[in-house]
Chain A
Amino acid sequence: MGKSSKDKRDLYYRKAKEQGYRARSAFKLLQLNEEFHFLDDPNLKRVVDLCAAPGSWSQVLSRKLFDKDDYTDRQIVAVDLQAMMPIDHVTTLQADITHPRTLHQILELFGNHRADFVCSDGAPDVTGLHDLDEYVQQQLIMSALQLTVCILKRGGTFVAKIFRGRDIDLIYAQLGYLFDQVTCAKPRSSRGSSLEAFVVCQGYNPPEGWQPSLDTNSSVVEFFQDCPVGSNENRTIAPFMACGSLESFDSDATYHVEPSATSLDPVQGPTNPPYKRALELKRSGRLTRAV
């Protein structure tokens, strides 16, 4: 499908290009903020964006935190294993979020102050095995949470992408031990047909006396073993919150864009997928059924 047909199908995709966002997911964070206003807090100073590439959430953070250019005490750090194109007011770190070194780098950048807000829009390679995909997504959230509990200030906020599959109530229960308020939020820009939603955890409130520390030799499960988070089989259902007003675009709806509407080039060119060479071979007819 061409560029223009995708414009037609997806108004958020078009709007993202118009507004210079690298991905349509920018609107997910904006709509979450419409409901929770976590980015409108004047005291919000230090912000971390995990699994940040290609950077659309960092772009939102940059525009929100630096709506006036004269803030000197505000800082945004974006971390990803992949390299990212630079974004104004954002310090990008190409690093592994599970490595203690990354933690120290962030704290160093923050002058050993703790973060006010940590978010993660990361998602793994989806295999099609639902149980595995949901598990790996949970591990990604728990890895982000590991880092988060080491750098987030008491009372801070953590936002992460989730897949609302069969064991999502376990995650809600685990997060409930660390935060005062856990909400399952679904922005209208996230398709209703997708399992995707976001967990918004407000009021970081770790158990008294728990001293989390990152260690390359311990797994996520071991990391949380002294805290009630890791082991418990309790299940709770977090309250649901639809985000973005009913007047905003409906990502499930079909909109008819005028044929005259010009198609826009994407803000960032296509990425280099691992299967690029296989695609080239297929296109040149070299992967055929005849042996």
Chain B
Amino acid sequence: MHSVSHYGPALSVKFLDRFVYAGYGPFLHVYEYATGKLANKCLIFNKNKVHGVRIGDNGLILCYGSRSVNLTSIQDVHEKSSIVESEKHTSEWIISGEFNSDCSQFYLLTCYDRVLTCDLECHVVKKSAVYGERSILYSGSIKVVSEDKVFINAGTVMGGIIVWELFSETLVANLLGHSGSIFYVEMNRDGSLIASCSDDRSVRLWDLKSQKELSVGWAHTARIWHLLFYNNDTRLISVSEDCTCRVWDIQSGKLLQSAIHEVHLTKNVWCVDVNEKDQLAITSGNDGRLRLISLTEQESLQRNFTIKQISDDSKVPFAKQEIIKGFHWFSFGLVAITSEGKILQYGNQWKFLMQNPQFKSYSMTNGISKDNIVIFSNNKCNLLILKFNSEGSEIVASRELHVDTLTKSQNCMVCRHHDRNEFFVTLESPNPHDPFMCLKFDTDSLNLRGQFGLKKPESFASSCLEIYESFLLVGSRFSVIAIFDLNNTSQESLVSRRLTPGDTTTSIHLVEFSIGGPVFVVTNRDGYYNFIRLKLGNPIEELEIIHSNRTARGFLEGAYYDNNGDLITYGFKSELFYIYNETQCYEKAVRVCGGAHRQWELARTPEGFMLVFIRASDLHFTRVIEPKVPEVLQCGTHGREIRDIALLKDFKYKNGHLFCTASEDTTIKLCHVHESTGQVTTFWTLRKHVSGLQRCKFLSSKLMISSSAREELFLWELTTDCNTKPYIKFRQALPISGNNPDLRITDFSVKFEGSNFILAAVYSDSAVKLWRYNHLQNRFQLAVEGHYKTCCILNASLFEFKNQSYLMLSATDGHLSLYNLTNTMNGGTVCPLPSVESSIQIHQSSIKAMNISVDDQNDAVRVYTGGDDNALAICAFHWESQTKRLLPHLKDVQRSAASSTITSSELINDDKQLVTASVDQIVRIWDTENDKLVLQEQKYTTVADTGSLDAVSNLLLIGGVGLSVWKTEHH
């Protein structure tokens, strides 16, 4: 076995010149941060993770972690794939390390508050400590102020911060004020200030000379793990368990929070470093992500105008109570209309263009940025269309129009054709008998090219628009979409209702073409989004949902694919406007705007975005600049434990395999692993579950099931025939029996009958339920119900043997139990679970891992089990032809197959070998021939809380806190 790739906790990051050095598990990753290119991956330690990185002026790099230390040249970490041969060990945990003032030695601070002074051969030349002081530390730092002044800042468990002087070994200060363990302590350049954080979740600033607490910063909502002074000690940056990175201004000894960045997935940001020259910060987290953020001031990107300023600037008097009613942003600036029908333009300053009394009091503003066209409408079916030249200096065309087929107009929407120089304006009347009007214009001349009176579906209130060829897609309130064919207006529209739980459809946007038809992303204010595919015909045959998901929180207003094919979403959450990379799950930008209920527009600009909004009748402009550097250097995976991995083994997808990971963080990720590089790409993070996942499995090339607490079991359907990426949608949920939040569906197994299947689900309250799933009706129906005992069932497997149907269970009682279900499922009634046909205790406690191999030729079913009791066993159920029963025989058991719980196993190489994962972080391959377990190979994995694995051909995926891809050699 050998490792090909790994994603997991990154505990340390450091900038130097053009590079970022990141401690990534036992590796050091070197990235060129301007391009995001991974320059090298160098193995530093055999087992331990790299907790800290220090770079000396002498071209040496010091890595430490746990009880390991490795000193090497920067050149080595750029060029070599491994430097483990120079790894050294200390007897105590290393809390921190630092080079001395001339880089001729380095210091290591251990968890017992001792400093080891080492020469560059890594020999300890001196041990220093303060007499009588032996507290255990969770944190600490070494500050080399000058060649004769070195401070040790020790963060203790119970006794606050202890500052001592290295050379004199004397106590300088004991700073008391925090509650709980100190999790980080940092000193500024000249050793006058100390910043610290603790279990109490505050950041504190101390003056060393007076030993006084200068300021307490409350802001983080969970523990803080790392702090750093920067910009000449005028700023402090902190990272936390709450997934954020925060910037603090230090003004006359006071801490003032000045920026918040949500940077990682649940949970824990471990480390931060700052590049002052480029004003960049890099953060590393438990999710294995490396995130680059800009620390540049945002104030310069913001402008706001009061009504009075606009009036003064444009030199037109405004009426009392006159307000801005609408606006549209163009590359040349803004065009806006007031409640008196004054049309104004803003470039570098405000300019009055015209006044049109028809658009007094009620008006709507739409625009087409590409063609510099603005469209004003009122409630009396009037339209005013203006076209500007590209500099915005001139109106090159204008058109006024009254639509007399409507009695009134309450909503107006505009959409440009993707291929033709046409744009469409829709007008909707509050009168349900009026048609839904659509007008087609030429983008150059603004000439009316066509007028369509469309039949309005019931309970319809238009809210967004998209045009594809001759099809007009109209989103509505109540989560409704209507599709009209403008070439065939007599045809009824195709209406799709309740795509999502049901609020206003906020956007429909064409994203790609597939063999099955064009694909659109549809967003809803309720936070849900769908990808729909149109099966085109005359009439349109079908609207197929191929993907369904919901955003993390808040109102969802729109979505699109960026140049990398990542889905970008935007909308509001509480007081904020956000732009989010949904594919990689990170915030691109947030701006405080006051919430969703306001006039606003987000425009894409060459440099990024322009957000324009009204707050308390002031007009605000906020530019969001797309960073010049990549937003992430490494994407990572879940921030919490991966509880299960399911590889789709039926077919290959783009030089590798698709797989799902189910995590304690309540999400499922749909990913791809490249078969030769092991590179993992995440496509989707599914947020349907509300509790930590238990299991996920593919049933076929199209179907997947996941299960968790609250009796959640969801059936998912995969679509893999689109060009950009696979899509996955929620298909059905298993009915639940009550509202016990702890009731977990711990495992399930499926047996197909054509396109329908039988599902066996097992529960933490010992319930066993069999369900029939009808594909056409998309319905689960309970068929068999019963209880095993009262203990928690952990594994279930349905299998056929000698034309009989069986269910094998394993539970926390250490037993394997077999049910014969052959004659149990009949008719439409719910049958009781039959009694156990045979049962055997194999383990002392929980059987965590179970694999079954049916050997029809030799009349046996083999069950491989791994348990909490460290044991691994083979049990064969033999067919007794006289009694026609399967009876168990324990074939082999290795009582100490691991030094801790065996959590997962898989049969590989045609069931000739078994691979196991256990919490001792060792993956073992066992030969199983002749029903004997013989250990073939074992290898340490850096994935802690090792809880899941899956294998396909020679690829092995190992999950826990992180995800590793290994290759096995065929024997």
CB-based contact B200/A277 at 8 Å: yes
Q: Are A5's CB and B741's CB within 8 A? A: yes
Residues of A131-169 at the interface with B, using a CB-CB cut-off of 8 Å, are 131-132, 135-136, 139, 164-166, 168-169
CB distance from A82 to the nearest CB of B (A): 10
Which of these, B48, B112, B225, B766, contacts A253 with CB under 8 Å?
A: B766
A5 CA / B766 CA spacing, docked (Å): 19
Q: Are B792 and A252 in contact (CB-based, < 8 A)?
A: yes
Q: Tell me, rounded to whole Å, the shortest Cβ–Cβ distance linking B133 to chain A.
A: 8
Q: Which residues of B contact A168 (CB under 8 A)?
A: 899-900, 920
Verify A219–B575 contact, CB threshold 8 A.
Answer: no
Chain B residues within 8 Å of A261, by CB: none
Binds A, one of B253-261, B371-379, B680-688: B253-261
**B29-56 toward A: CB 8 Å interface, digit per residue (1/0)?**
0000000000000000001110000000
Closest to A5 in B: B741
Are B199's CB and A290's CB within 8 A? no
Least CB separation from A166: chain B residue:
B921
- Tell which of B201, B575, B790, B922 touches A255, judged by Cβ atoms closer than 8 Å: B790
* A165 and B921 within 8 A (CB): yes
Bound Cα distance from A217 to B169, whole angstroms? 13
A240 & B871 in contact (Cβ 8 Å cutoff): yes
> For residue A274, which residues in chain B have a CB less than 8 angstroms away from its CB?
178-181, 198-200
> Which one of A69-77, A108-116, A202-210, A281-289 contacts B?
A281-289
Residues of A within 8 A of B530 (CB): none
For A171, the closest partner residue in chain B by CB is B899
Q: How far apart sit A124 and B910, CA to CA, in the bound complex (Å)?
A: 45
Given A252-B846, A254-B763; A275-B901 close (CB under 8 Å): no
Q: Are A241 and B180 in contact (CB under 8 A)?
A: no
Q: How far is the CA of A135 from the CA of B333 in the complex (A)?
A: 60
Render B98-122 as a binary contact track against A, CB cut-off 8 A, 1 for contact: 0000000000001110100000000
Residue A9, interface by CB 8 Å? yes
In A248-262, the 8 Å CB interface with B consists of: 250, 252-256
Neighbouring A residues of B870 by C-beta, 8 Å: 184, 237, 240
Q: Does A239 sit at the interface, judged by CB under 8 A?
A: yes
A132-B93 in contact given A192-B846, A241-B844 (Cβ < 8 Å): yes
| Nearest A-chain residue to B178, judged by Cβ | A274
Instruction: Check: B202 CB closer than 8 A to any chain A CB.
Output: yes
> In the complex the two chains form, is A166's CB within 8 Å of B920's CB?
yes
Decide: A254 and B765 in contact? CB cutoff 8 A.
Answer: yes
Q: Is A85 an interface residue (CB 8 A)?
A: no
CA distance A204 to B201 in the complex (A): 43
Question: How long is the Cα–Cα vector from A192 to B848 in the complex, in angstroms?
Answer: 9
Closest B residue, CB atoms, query A220: B112
- Give the interface residue-count category, chain B: 35 or more
Residues in B772-799 with C-beta less than 8 Å from chain A: 790-792
Q: Which residues of B contact A125 (CB under 8 A)?
A: 138, 157, 180-181, 199
A217: chain B residues within 8 A (beta carbon):
129, 131-132, 134
How far is the CB of A255 from the nearest CB of chain B, in Å? 7
User: Residue A83 at the B interface, CB < 8 A?
Assistant: no
Asked if A254 contacts B846 (CB within 8 A), the reply is no
Enumerate chain B residues within 8 angstroms of A104, measured Cβ to Cβ.
none
Other-chain residue from B91, B741, B814, B900 in contact with A165 (beta carbon distance below 8 A): B900
B813's partner among A172, A237, A246, A289 (CB-CB below 8 A) is A246
Report whether B112 and A219 are in contact in the complex, using a CB–CB cutoff of 8 Å: yes
CB closest chain-A residue, reference B183:
A127
Nearest B residue to A98, CB-CB: B134
Binary per-residue interface labels of chain B (202-246) against chain A in the complex, 1 for a CB within 8 Å, 0 otherwise: 100000000000000011110101000000000000000100000
Grouping DSSP codes into helix (H, G, I), strand (E, B) and loop, the A interface class, with mixed when no group exceeds half, is loop
Contact, CB under 8 Å: B846 / A139? no
**Nearest chain B residue, comparing its CB with the CB of A184:** B870
Measured CB to CB, the nearest residue on chain B to A124 is: B157
A211 at the interface (CB under 8 A from B): no
| Given A165-B920, A254-B764, A254-B792; A290-B576 close (CB under 8 Å) | yes
Smallest CB separation, A233 vs chain B (Å): 9
Within residues 893 to 941 of chain B, which ones have a CB less than 8 A from any CB in chain A? Answer: 895-896, 898-901, 919-922, 940
Report B-chain residues with C-beta under 8 Å of the C-beta of A264: none
Q: Is B944 an interface residue (CB 8 A)?
A: yes
**Beta-carbon contacts of A267-281 to B below 8 Å, as 1s and 0s?**
000000111111001
Q: How far is the CB of B175 from chain A (nearest CB, A)?
A: 16
* A195 on the B face (CB < 8 A): yes
A219 to B47, alpha carbons, bound, how many Å? 24
Q: B267 — which chain A residues lie within 8 A by C-beta?
A: 128
Cross-chain contact of B134 among A216, A242, A246 (Cβ < 8 A): A216
Cβ contacts under 8 Å, A24 to chain B = none
Asked if B93 and A186 make an inter-chain contact with CB atoms under 8 angstroms apart, the answer reads: no
Question: Which chain A residues lie closer than 8 Å to B763 at the CB level?
Answer: 254
Interface string of A227-245 (1 = CB under 8 A from B): 0001100010101111000
Interface size on A, residues (CB 8 A): 63
Tell me if B742 is interfacial: C-beta within 8 Å of chain A: yes
Cα A128 to Cα B590 with chains together (Å) = 28
Chain B residue at minimal CB-CB distance from A281: B218
- CB pair B198–A255 under 8 Å, yes or no, is no
Indicate whether B273 reaches chain A with its CB closer than 8 angstroms.
no
Tell me if B286 and A128 are in contact (CB < 8 A).
yes
Tell me the minimal C-beta distance from A182 to chain B in angstroms: 13
* Chain B, residue nearest A138 (CB): B93
Inter-chain contact B844/A275, CB cutoff 8 Å? no
**Closest residue of B by beta carbon distance from A81:** B158
Q: Give CA–CA (A192, B811) in the complex, Å.
A: 11
Contacts of B920 in A (CB 8 A): 164-166, 168-169
Chain A residues contacting B590 (CB-CB under 8 Å) are 289
| Minimum CB–CB distance for A136 against chain B, Å | 7
Q: Are A136 and B136 in contact (CB under 8 A)?
A: yes
Contact between chains at A253 and B764 (CB < 8 Å): yes
Question: From residue 169 to 192 of chain A, which have CB atoms closer than 8 A to chain B?
Answer: 169, 172, 184, 186, 188, 192
Complex Cα–Cα for A160 and B100 (A): 41
Q: Write out the residue numbers on chain A whose beta carbons fall within 8 Å of the beta carbon of B744.
A: 254
Alpha-carbon distance between A282 and B202 when the two chains are bound, in angstroms: 12
In the bound complex, what is the Cα–Cα distance between A252 and B868 (angstroms)?
A: 12
Q: Which residues of chain B are within 8 angstroms of A63 by Cβ–Cβ distance?
A: none
In the bound complex, residues from chain B placing their C-beta under 8 Å from that of A124 are 157
Q: How far is the CA of A216 from the CA of B134 in the complex (A)?
A: 6
* B268 proximal to A (CB < 8 A): yes
Contact B742 A8 (CB under 8 A): yes
| Chain A, Cβ-Cβ closest to B48 | A131
Contacts of B568 in A (CB 8 A): none
Query: Which one of A130, A216, A241, A256 lies within 8 Å of B740 (CB-CB)?
Result: A256
**Is B276 located at the chain interface by the 8 A CB criterion?**
no
Q: Is B743 an interface residue (CB 8 A)?
A: yes
Contact A252 B764 (CB under 8 A): yes
Give the distance in Å from the alpha carbon of A1 to the alpha carbon of B709 in the complex.
15
Is there contact, CB below 8 Å, between A169 and B138?
Answer: no
B961 within 8 A of A: yes
Instruction: Kindly identify which residue among B158, B218, B262, B940 contacts A278, using a CB–CB cutoff of 8 Å.
Output: B218
| Known interface pairs A128-B286, A165-B919, A168-B900; A188-B200 also in contact (CB < 8 Å) | no
> Closest CB-CB distance, A225 to chain B, in whole Å?
9
A132 vs B67: C-alpha distance in the bound complex, in angstroms? 10
- In whole Å, how far is A237's beta carbon from the nearest beta carbon of chain B? 4
- List, sorted by A's number, 19 A–B pairs whose CB atoms are closer than 8 Å: A8-B742, A9-B742, A98-B134, A128-B286, A130-B944, A130-B945, A135-B93, A164-B900, A169-B899, A237-B898, A242-B844, A250-B792, A254-B740, A254-B765, A278-B200, A278-B220, A290-B575, A290-B592, A291-B260
Q: What 10 pairs across the A-B complex have the smallest Cβ distances?
A: A274-B180, A130-B944, A274-B179, A278-B201, A242-B844, A164-B900, A237-B896, A252-B792, A253-B792, A274-B199
Which residues of A pack against B, CB within 8 Å?
1, 5, 8-9, 81, 98, 124-125, 127-132, 135-136, 139, 164-166, 168-169, 172, 184, 186, 188, 192, 195, 216-221, 230-231, 235, 237, 239-242, 246, 250, 252-256, 273-278, 281-282, 286-291
A168-B900, A254-B742, A289-B574 known; 7 new pairs, CB 8 Å cut-off, are: A1-B741, A81-B158, A128-B286, A166-B921, A237-B899, A256-B738, A277-B200
